[in-house]
Amino acid sequence: MIIGYIMLFVGIGYIYLGYTASEKLKEIRNEAWPERKVRSMFDKYDIDESERIEFGEFHKLLQDMNVSIGTQEAELMYLSLDKDMNHGLAYAEFQKFWANSPELNSFRV
């Protein structure tokens, strides 16, 4: 029973450390990619100025990020990001993609 309690406390410790590390990473990400830069990238790839990024524009973004992904995989990624299913990434959807994309570490604005 004592070992069980020790394991419980160790598990809680790992959860806490993981949470704090995640929060620090979000903070660093926000400093590196402030709102105005994210909006700037959205506007850059919203070529037709529709306030949505359609698949062709999204695919161009991935190519510019040097993401080696096939068209079908890119389409699946795009569909998973388009939460409201209206055939275009709204700015809020784009922000979530931008904030969670590991490829951004090597991408330059």
Q: What is the pLDDT of residues 67-99, one digit of tens each?
A: 777 888 888 888 888 888 888 888 888 887 777
Asked if 12 and 54 sit in the same domain, the reply is no
Alpha-carbon separation of residue 15 from 25, 26, 50, 78, 85 (angstroms): 15, 17, 42, 31, 34
The answer on 92 and 58 residing in a single domain is: yes
pTM assigned to the model: 0.57
> In terms of domains, do 14 and 28 share one?
yes
State the DSSP code for 89: B
How many domains, the chain? 2
In terms of residue numbers, what domain contains 59? 34-109
More confident residue, 28 or 66: 66
Take residue 94 and report the two structure tokens written for it.
């784009």
Q: List CB contacts of 101: < 8 A, sequence separation 6 or more.
A: 65
Same domain, 44 and 28: no
pLDDT tens digits along 31-60: 656 778 888 888 998 988 899 999 999 888
pLDDT at residue number 58: 87
One domain, residues 39 and 16: no
